[in-house]
């Protein structure tokens, strides 16, 4: 089926500012609360939130097989479950409804009032009910930075498969929600035994996440050449990390409480269809991976990523600029690997890319790397210094793709760190 929604020539009758992340070619999906306290599934064009449940009720999706309550839900799980054909039909139809050549909704004031909201009038909610969360470790630059900091080398398995840990779903929150500095057990240098208290080394991790549909039954795996059909879209993801807790707890089973206190994601899921024009080749893999991880063609995406820190009542300072395309392992490889043992994935499951780091200073995706574990503090625009994240700081992640025709963005993934209770 043709993805007509991606046509770069298309213009909308809704006003869209230049350099907006949400032109008519984007059409992401999210869940929001209207100013009348109604939860609905929606999309965004420019600075307008579009109520898809209202559009459906008014008959605008006629001819597309959708259940009556498909968009009257507090998560996108059922819609995602319907599969790629439905995603494409709905996205194409939305692009058509808001096309400046189509007068149907444009000239129906009553309908417009029911369907279109100013983005400031609504409240974004978590877009999916996340059953399972896996966080990968797929940036070679990041892995090298971390291991070399502690005088180690990459573990021998790293170049043969996308490594990951199973994360915690219950504490994944949508952008805008404040995070509480975690307390826990650490073993600071100079102490003779572990101590308990607020983490002193709270960090962010600049990541992207992808969301799957139901893909395989328990016991079956997904062939690497079929993974694309099961990935719905992507979000920005901040994998908040307490480095002092992590250091003490991680041997031998990996991250636990250092990560599970919070993960923030951006509210709009940008579909893989919208990202299609931004496919690029992933870095060459040497050694060649085993057959079940071998892939041909362009399997990564050119997504520019930016991380900023904004102290309370101050302006933000950009601390990192990098790109998703530097990741060594692709989403297809991650999903093939996740399921190769027969583990089933479900609609709404979330997969973090792992911290995205480039190869140069200023392109690293965590404070751990940017400040060399706190030994080289970063100076912010207000004159203060940061080794890690302070109470009151807001961490803001942004991401976008851009070519000469169109810009497809993710908006923001931001949350403020509050002091420990």
Residues lying near Mn ion in the complex (CB under 5 A) are found at 135, 205, 239
Both tokens of 143, joined, read 């892995």
- Report the 3 state secondary structure along 200-234: CCEECEEEEEEEECCCCCCCCCCCHHHHHHHEEEE
Closest to Mn ion by CB, 44 or 140: 140
Neighbour tally for 347: CB within 10 Å: 23
Neighbour tally for 33: CB within 10 Å: 15
| Dist CA 46 CA 21 (whole Å) | 8
Check if 166 is active-site.
no
- Cis omega (within 30 of 0) on the bond before 402? no
- Cis omega (within 30 of 0) on the bond before 252? yes
In the numeric block, the tokens 């803001």 are attached to: 396
In three-state secondary structure terms, 387 is coil
Q: Least separation, in Å, of the C-beta of 355 and Mn ion?
A: 5
Q: 130 exposed, middle or buried (CB, 10 Å; 0-12, 13-18, 19+)?
A: buried
* Element at 77 (helix H, strand E): helix 77-81
Q: Least separation, in Å, of the C-beta of 207 and Mn ion?
A: 6
Choice among 15, 56, 111, 142 that is catalytic = 142
Closest to Mn ion by CB, 99 or 239: 239
Closest to Mn ion by CB, 85 or 148: 148
Q: Least separation, in Å, of the C-beta of 389 and Mn ion?
A: 15
Q: Least separation, in Å, of the C-beta of 241 and Mn ion?
A: 7
Contacts 24+ apart (CB under 8 A), 217-220: 217/344, 218/342, 218/343, 218/344, 219/342, 219/344, 220/339, 220/342, 220/344
Closest to Mn ion by CB, 25 or 139: 139
Q: Least separation, in Å, of the C-beta of 209 and Mn ion?
A: 10
Nearest to 228 by CA among 283, 169, 296, 167: 296
- Residue 264 gets the label, from left (phi > 0), alpha (psi -120 to 50) or beta, of beta
Both tokens of 295, joined, read 């892939």
Nearest to 279 by CA among 259, 255, 297, 304: 297
Closest to Mn ion by CB, 239 or 273: 239
What's 99's DSSP letter? B
Q: Least separation, in Å, of the C-beta of 136 and Mn ion?
A: 8
Q: Least separation, in Å, of the C-beta of 352 and Mn ion?
A: 5
Closest to Mn ion by CB, 143 or 222: 143
Closest to Mn ion by CB, 135 or 249: 135
Nearest to 326 by CA among 301, 348, 298: 301
Residue nearest to Mn ion (CB): 239
Which residues are known to be catalytic?
A: 142
């Amino acid at each position: 089926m043709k993805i007509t929604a991606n046509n770069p020539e298309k213009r909308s009758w809704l006003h869209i500012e230049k350099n907006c992340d949400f032109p008519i070619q984007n059409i992401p999906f999210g869940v929001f609360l209207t100013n009348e306290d109604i939860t609905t599934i929606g999309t965004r064009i420019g600075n307008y939130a579009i109520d898809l449940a209202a559009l459906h009720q008014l008959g605008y999706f006629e001819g597309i097989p959708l259940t009556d309550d498909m968009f009257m839900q507090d998560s996108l799980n059922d819609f995602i479950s319907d599969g790629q054909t439905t995603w494409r039909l709905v996205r194409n139809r939305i692009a058509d409804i808001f096309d400046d050549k189509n007068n149907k909704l444009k000239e129906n004031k009553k309908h417009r009032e029911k369907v279109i909201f100013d983005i400031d009038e609504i409240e974004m909610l978590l877009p999916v009910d996340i059953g399972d969360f896996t966080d990968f470790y797929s940036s070679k630059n990041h892995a090298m930075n971390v291991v070399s900091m502690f005088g180690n080398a990459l573990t021998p398995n790293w170049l043969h498969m996308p490594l990951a840990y199973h994360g915690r779903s219950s504490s994944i929150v949508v952008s805008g929600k404040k995070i509480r500095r975690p307390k826990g057990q650490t073993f600071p240098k100079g102490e003779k035994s572990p101590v308990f208290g607020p983490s002193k080394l709270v960090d962010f991790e600049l990541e992207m996440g992808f969301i799957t549909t139901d893909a395989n039954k328990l016991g079956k795996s997904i062939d690497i050449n079929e993974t694309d059909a099961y990935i719905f879209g992507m979000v920005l993801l901040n994998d908040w990390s307490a480095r002092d807790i992590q250091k003490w707890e991680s041997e031998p089973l990996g991250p636990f409480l250092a990560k599970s206190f919070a993960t923030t994601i951006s509210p709009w899921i940008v579909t893989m269809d919208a990202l299609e024009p931004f496919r690029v080749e992933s870095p060459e893999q040497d050694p060649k991976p085993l057959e079940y991880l071998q892939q041909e063609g362009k399997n990564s995406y050119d997504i520019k990523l930016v991380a900023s820190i904004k102290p309370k009542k101050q302006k933000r300072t950009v601390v990192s600029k990098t790109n998703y395309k530097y990741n060594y392992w692709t989403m297809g490889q991650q999903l093939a690997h996740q399921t190769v043992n027969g583990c089933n994935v479900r609609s709404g499951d979330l997969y973090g890319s792992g911290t995205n780091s480039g190869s140069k200073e200023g392109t690293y995706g965590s404070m751990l790397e940017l400040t060399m574990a706190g030994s080289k503090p970063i100076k912010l625009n207000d004159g203060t210094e940061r080794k890690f994240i302070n109470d009151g700081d807001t961490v803001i992640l942004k991401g976008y793709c851009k070519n000469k025709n169109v810009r497809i963005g993710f908006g923001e993934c931001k949350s403020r760190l509050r002091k420990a209770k």
